[in-house]
């Protein structure tokens, strides 16, 4: 599995630790930046990961910023992305099962051990094909308002 990962300046150290962890599990990790603690604007990094997911350059995306919220909002502007800001393993599970999320966003203060568990659940959870979930995802996909 190929994972795209990006961060703003607040998450560089966490991204480095996380990349090592994911590679130790056998994942291929593609770094979309930033690699500096110099302040940057996060949207461009979120867009890069979102576009990589939609184009199938990577299977899933992981975004890190101060809160995870800004990256999530920006990434969801890319048509075809379902990015969820996730705080725990339960949210990681249901965002994959119910919403078929393909990008996950987290805050840079998330402890690495928690983040490892969150990602383990996110990457191992299958999307539900229950009619109610399929119907709701289709509603989201077809909205053009």
The set of catalytic residues is 65
Query: Which pair of tokens denotes residue 44?
Result: 């461009």
Query: Which pair of tokens denotes residue 33?
Result: 């930046």
| Cβ neighbourhood burial of 135 (10 Å; 0-12, 13-18, 19+) | exposed
Three-class DSSP category at 140: helix
Cα 101 from Cα 80, distance rounded (Å): 10
| Cβ neighbourhood burial of 56 (10 Å; 0-12, 13-18, 19+) | exposed
């Amino acid at each position: 599995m190929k994972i795209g990962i990006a961060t703003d300046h607040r998450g560089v150290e966490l991204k480095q630790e996380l990349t090592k962890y994911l590679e130790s599990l056998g994942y291929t990790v593609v770094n979309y930046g930033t690699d500096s603690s110099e302040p940057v604007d996060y949207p461009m990094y979120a867009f890069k990961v979102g576009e990589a997911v939609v184009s199938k350059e990577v299977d899933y995306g992981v975004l890190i910023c101060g809160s995870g919220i800004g990256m999530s909002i920006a990434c969801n502007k890319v048509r075809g992305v379902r990015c969820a800001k996730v705080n725990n393993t339960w949210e990681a599970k249901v965002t994959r099962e119910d919403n078929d999320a393909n990008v996950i966003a987290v805050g840079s203060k998330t402890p690495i051990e928690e983040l490892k568990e969150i990602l383990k659940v996110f990457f191992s959870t299958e999307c539900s094909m229950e009619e109610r979930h399929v119907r709701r995802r289709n509603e989201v996909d077809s909205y053009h308002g």
